[in-house]
A and B are shown apart, each in its own frame.
Chain A
């Protein structure tokens, strides 16, 4: 089998993207985090916010976990009383977005190069000083990785990322 045929939608096979619907209440995140911590599983990214129903929050998280264990983890998450729905959407067709702010060293001599890279990636400059440019970009985590790689040669002062959020494509709900 060629790599193209076996490739999964998410770049690193060890990373699993989970989508959870949980009670919007204190302590829920701790219970979920504790479940991963106890098993030595790192949370690569985490995005939490309230949903259309103010009683419920949506968590989109990417965890670094062997694929073989993720199914059991999903069932263990479902066992938590405050967790209403869990789905492993790693292999699902989905719309995925992450937002990043990247502050790059960009003195006037090279600033046009930085802005050109930003244009290609459809990143927007949102702040400017004599020394730096701050870019805002939205897209898949993969695209943001690529932008950061390109900007690295200019010197990245700092980066902040929201972590990916995702919904299934089409009319299916997560």
Chain B
């Protein structure tokens, strides 16, 4: 009896409760930057046994690193920042994670409760600011709510469609003593998404696939954890597969059934195939404008099966003839055995003709070609690296030429298109997989947005390979100005620092490459470094354009195959 009473009155400090709950849920790394309002959290981290903190030099890097960690591992990535400017610096990373459905937990310090709403030092209305860029967020004003909120936030990150969740905690709440038994109270999630698809719809979909003549699987990021049933369905029924930028790796791109990426800079044959298809099986994909182009001309002959865990995605851009709301893995596992292989002989003859006539290609020139560099990276790493990218031309070339074979291998900012994402995401991916080869393929523009954190990678002795595809310009913007703004180049040429020397100054290894021979040599030497990051600066042809290209808002009919 005595012990029961003692137990119920034992208390724990709020900040320690947060750390303990994170540890108990399996979180091992938190990426962050401290400040006044989050000091109690750091005081608790000082004593943490399993949870370790990675100090970044800018909070945006913390958010992207947490995203890279989450995308590489499938686990929740955690980042933290102090109130005010610390928290606002997380915004881009949270928006990125929301667009690409990544489970990221952000914990921010807030000014003490009596000061909220008084324009106190380093105060910002963080829950209001982040409301549209998070799946959900919390401002914890009652210390007793803290354990429930942290557990619910961790749950929400991954429940249904994953996404970022932010918990804003005033400093005095972090310092409050709360009853310890609140940490172990039974937890009842109130948000319960449907995971199993409707069996009637699944049967209908199976029949539609069995009787189709020109089916195609259109695979998005939501299929990353459904690769086995997806492969069974595609292989047994010989259904061609096209992947989105987010779907890369969910199906083996070296399999002849795979037509590579579709969309604005997808392969010509993937775009021809989906637009001639009579049945499109969309799995965890959201008919983004970069995939569809002009909506009314997208797949004019097709019926759509749309499998997605988020009911709000079904019919958003294109009406779904057979909507199936559920987890992609569960739905495909139920669907696959019901499908009879359709007759796709004629369909494959047509596809192979397109594939032979319009291969991805580039022409060698006097200078290094960016495609050539990515092809060389692909070959030297035997296609096995975890690849992160920034946004722009290099990203599209990486998507085209770095063919992925396993899920969670390709980590790129898809929906938001965040320049500066690639390098921090690589930091996170390396923490998730310490022994894996992690390669960041970045542009000279994007790298300069977050390269200050080279020191973080040096400090942790991360053997990252940072391959800068340096065309001394904001290449994709330059390409659009060339094609659509009558070559009136405005604010696209970059005067760049010497990236190799910058790397050396940070304590990393740097190489500068201008010829094909140097290229192979530098890649080989970079792969031999195992105790610190390497930056290889590839000076490539600044005039090279990314093709094929379906201009924005147009259809496959307007596709530009190449110069």
Contacts and interface: CB of A to CB of B under 8 A. Distances in A.
A71 B314 CA distance: 11
B136 A75 contact: no
A102 to B, nearest CB: 36
What band does the interface of chain B fall in when counting residues whose beta carbon is under 8 Å from A?
10 to 19
B127 interface: yes
A85 to B, nearest CB: 12
A130 to B, nearest CB: 45
A3 B104 CA distance: 53
Interface in A32-84: 34, 38, 71-72, 75-76, 78-82
A149 to B, nearest CB: 39
A44 to B, nearest CB: 23
B131 interface: yes
Contact of A31 (B131, B191, B312): B131
Nearest to B137: A27
B312 A81 contact: no
Contacts of B444: none
Given A34-B132, A81-B156, A81-B191, A27 B127 contact: yes
A75 B131 contact: no
Contacts of B127: 27
Contacts of A75: 311-312, 314
A82 B165 CA distance: 14
A51 to B, nearest CB: 16
A162 B316 CA distance: 33
Interface of A: 26-27, 30-31, 34, 38, 71-72, 75-76, 78-82
Contacts of B311: 75, 78-79
Given A27-B127, A81-B156, A76 B191 contact: no
Contact of B312 (A26, A38, A72, A82): A72
B310 interface: yes
A72 B132 contact: no
Interface of B: 127-128, 131-132, 135-136, 139, 156, 190-191, 310-312, 314-316
A34 B312 contact: no
B198 to A, nearest CB: 16
Nearest to B311: A75
Given A79-B310, A81-B136, A81-B191, A72 B315 contact: yes
Nearest to B132: A34
A30 B127 CA distance: 11
28 contacts: A26-B139, A27-B127, A27-B131, A27-B139, A30-B128, A30-B131, A34-B131, A34-B132, A38-B132, A71-B315, A72-B312, A72-B315, A72-B316, A75-B311, A75-B312, A75-B314, A76-B312, A78-B311, A78-B312, A79-B310, A79-B311, A79-B312, A80-B136, A81-B135, A81-B136, A81-B190, A81-B191, A82-B136
Contacts of A30: 128, 131
Contacts of A71: 315
A79 B127 CA distance: 18
Nearest to B193: A79
A41 to B, nearest CB: 15
Nearest to B315: A72
From B127, B131, B312, residue with most partner A Cβ within 10 Å: B312
Contacts of A27: 127, 131, 139
A76 B314 CA distance: 11
B559 to A, nearest CB: 29
B392 to A, nearest CB: 27
Contacts of B310: 79
From A27, A71, A80, A81, residue with most partner B Cβ within 10 Å: A81
B316 to A, nearest CB: 6
A80 B132 CA distance: 11
A141 B314 CA distance: 34
Contacts of B191: 81
Nearest to A79: B312
Nearest to A38: B132
Contacts of A72: 312, 315-316
A30 B132 CA distance: 11
A49 B317 CA distance: 35
Contacts of A31: 131
A27 B156 CA distance: 18
Contacts of B316: 72
